[in-house]
Structure 1
Amino acid sequence: MFENTSPNRLNILQAFDRLLTIMDELREQCPWDRKQTMESLRHLTIEEMYELSDSILEGNMAEVKKELGDLILHIVFYARIASETNTFDIADVLNAICDKLISRHPHIYGTVKADTEEQVKQNWEQLKLKEGNKSVLAGVPSSLPALVKAMRIQEKARGAGFDWEEKTQVWEKVEEEMQEFKEAFNSEQEIDSKEAEGEFGDLLFSLVNYARFVDINPETALERTNKKFIKRFTYLEEEAKKAGKNLQDMTLAEMDIYWEKAKKQK
């Protein structure tokens, strides 16, 4: 197995050991750190993940470094809490992921052949089934945001060989779902909200599927659009305020003038 004995590796190990020492000291001496449980840390960890995601989308490497540090702290914190009841410690966590990576990469650590990314993914899903998963979809967390979950479900299904062959087929499905959604609202009878919601869900799912086929991450795409809208709307608010205007008193046409200017801002 590959071994890295460079001076930088020693620095990395020393830095990690320093974090473990600080964590031990805080857990034993700080009133706040002593009080924490896995349950109390959970929502904070989720918040840190979203902050890391924001930093990545903004391309702010200084913030990415900071947020990665926060996440590593949380991992060490959970392991320290578990070690207090002899459930597991950080060494168990690290060895478990190492063992998992080795077993899931038989094309590197075994005799299995996998020359493409797709073959690697298929092998990965098959190995998970052999390890006891009853379904290839069992590894998709139920608490994932719906858009991310749709992407992961489709990726898992593809790993099992259940997928469209051409992107044109996927787009035809998008158009089919769009038509069904339109029909749910164009009916002369009273709109069935549950049916309309179901058709809208089908449409979103098919759009996520198409995005996957053209190598677009729908979560990233939507979040970039969210940020773009926030930036432009904030510009609209600021410019209207400078002009002594209140958005509630402006017409849509008046607001659209500022909106078009906002679109030209970098």
Structure 2
Amino acid sequence: MKIATPLIDFVGVIIGEGKLKLQPHIIKRIVDFEEETLKSKKGMRSFLGFLNYARTHIPNLGTLQRPLYEKTNAHGDKRLKRSDLELIHQIKRQVQELPDLKVPPEQAHIVIETDGCADGWGEVVKWKAHKKDSRAKESVCAYASGKFATPQSTIDAEIQACINALEKLKIYYLDKKEITLRTDCQAIISFNNKANSTKASRVRWIKFADALTGTGVKINLEHIDGKDNLLADSLSRLVHFCFEECTRELDCIRKITMEEEEGIMN
């Protein structure tokens, strides 16, 4: 165990100096993976296991991995085609160019940008030193996304995206007095502005109001133009391909991760 050290190694990442980044040996293992090894199911699973460490660093990594996971399925095409090799090379290049995620200081103001579509939702967690600072001074500290169990209407998707953000990203804001929640849905902003004078008759609005008031934190809703909400929008629209509800694949990921962590420790 290390104490009084500015950098900490933890489950494949380095935490310190206000940043979160992949450990060099994880990056090296991914980049140096031989194509011949990837032709076997065991080799492909091992490669995907190491890529799992980069999930929080690369938006939409699940989309890129999807064709490769098919190689590990019982009935999937095991052959490595030219398109598969090009995809692997693309991922290897991207892993070598990962920007560091920036850990928010204790007094930072947290901003969560949300977006929803029929299939899923996407969130980007940002922070800035002071609430009044411009958006240009904001830094990304986390990504999140998910798939809806059933297709949603436009307004329901946007509302649920906000609710999911408040529920699933509590670790970033529960110690704050207030945060900013951004959405490109004008209906949500209008509802919030009129909430004190107009009763919402729809269940979705009641649920949304409960989510806003149930955190114990002041939630400042802010509108963002769709053209400026590209990252959250991309996460939500590609999530259908990233996170299909498949128990077998999830169990496979967990197993791979445990095996590779044991290998690293040994």
The higher-RCO structure (CA 8 Å, 6+ apart) is 2
Q: Greater helix percent: which structure?
A: 1
Q: Name which one, 1 or 2, has greater alpha-carbon Rg.
A: 1
TM-score (norm 1): 0.29
Q: Greater strand percent: which structure?
A: 2
